[in-house]
Chain A
Amino acid sequence: MSLALTQTELFQDFENFGHSINAPSTCFSPRNSEELLERFTEAERHGFKIAFRGAGCSYNDAALNGGGMLVNFENMKEILEWNPESGIITVQPGISLSELWQKVLPDGWWPPVVSGTMTTTLGGCLGMNIHGKNNFRLGTIGEHVLKFTALLPNGAELTCSPDLNSDLFYSMIGGLGMLGAFTSITLKMKRVYSGFLRVSQYPVHNLASHLEAIERDAPLHDYTVGWLDATAGGNSLGRGQIHVADYLPAGEDSDPATSMRVDRQTLPATMFGFFPKSIIHYIMTPFMNNIGARLVNSAKYVASLRTSSYLQSHAAFHFLLDYVPNWELAYGNQGLIQYQTFLPKASALDIWKEMLITSQKRGIPSFLGVTKRHRPDQFLLSHAVDGYSLAFDFKITRRNRSSLRTMLTEFDNITTNAGGRFYLAKNSETSSETALAYLGKPAIEKFIQLKNRTDPNFILESDLFQRIFGSFVK
């Protein structure tokens, strides 16, 4: 019996982070590069496609490969080298951010860039070139990679750094896992002098003051992030709350050895003191409709009116998405759409005003809005602009599908017309035309050209790749 048929018996359903797509695949976890290379060879021989899946935290189809094979790296998650003096660490791609910070924090270091959940794998973080609440200060995670080794589908194993194979360095980071696999990653950590951050929060009352606040605070603080009440209209349109956070300078924490202990970094086990975290998403469910979301957002806004400043652990500040396990399930069985736009400074205010008003008027408001400040980077498939991003969470229902689709297509167009961009780990509806409009033809052609070199038989094809780049492949 050929291998091809044996695989169809091993199909299992995989979902995206937003629980809105379901794609059956086989799954394989190589223990080393040799085993991965064997899969590449088999895929070529039997004509099946491979895509990589880290922790499956992409909101779209980046880590899905319906009808093909997913390769994850849960058997390749060793820390290969850690130097607590220099803060330089070399890891295998399957290690999670959680395991990474737990390793380095007790020695006085913190990953320079982290996502909103710590379950993500380093390989996934590099493949999507993640950013955090400090994108404006420290850029994307790729900017802290000193070098990586990669196995390409053409069988080549090579080392890439900003100086060595630099074209692959800048394209494999953020390259969606479509050029090859990271086999080891060397990163520089950020020195910290405490397990705490000094966090301050204050309200903003409309979109203009919201963006002004981010513009003003981002250069002054290590982290800046805004929460935006996307359900509020009128004079309160774009109201929300700004959080800024700073590392404590050396000496301020009198007992850093204690605060940097892993067990001091835990997230609260209960919400409001008594709801166990594991059931919170059930409690959220009744509020996940237009009226409930409006209530919750308003309550949150009222609660945020008090300006305050406090110390918070790194983990508690960064990993908001991990506070409520399975929070995505609260969006119901149709899942959610995460829709994030990156806009240049000049156009952000007008365009987001329009988006907020339109979404409210059509009865499909976002239940959550998050704003950040960004800076451009040199990676080939970059989402970054010198400006801001606003991320929306739309609940999908059977009834709103088509109107939501129409609206997001309009949003795509006004964003690209204004020189805006999108992030390929989040938006799930981006068409190849939209991608062409914001990435530009030269970037896409360069990417396909590099793929022809590293993966001439196009073994690596995620569903995202087919959606966005399929039409550019001859």
Chain B
Amino acid sequence: MKDTINVAYVAELARIELTPEEQQLFQRQLETVVRYVEKIGRLELSGIEPTQHGQNLVNVFREDQTVAAESEARELFLANAPERNGYEFRLPKIVEEA
């Protein structure tokens, strides 16, 4: 863990546009946090199983349920769309120039 976080690059991976000021601020702040969390590198962890959850759970299954397309729920969900076209989400043109 010698190199540290490159905020400009990671922000691109995270799909967040940063202003130059934010980039500079986060670089400084997150370097401090990354240095801090590196303390877990000190522990001997061979043979230790990872914990993924708060409880030990096995797979939980249930039947899929279908909801009628004309249900009120459809209108409620679409009402939150930034832009809609009837019963469709409307999006800006996504074909980019070559």
Q: Do they bind each other? A: no
List residues of A whose CB falls within 8 A of some B CB.
none
List residues of B whose CB falls within 8 A of some A CB.
none
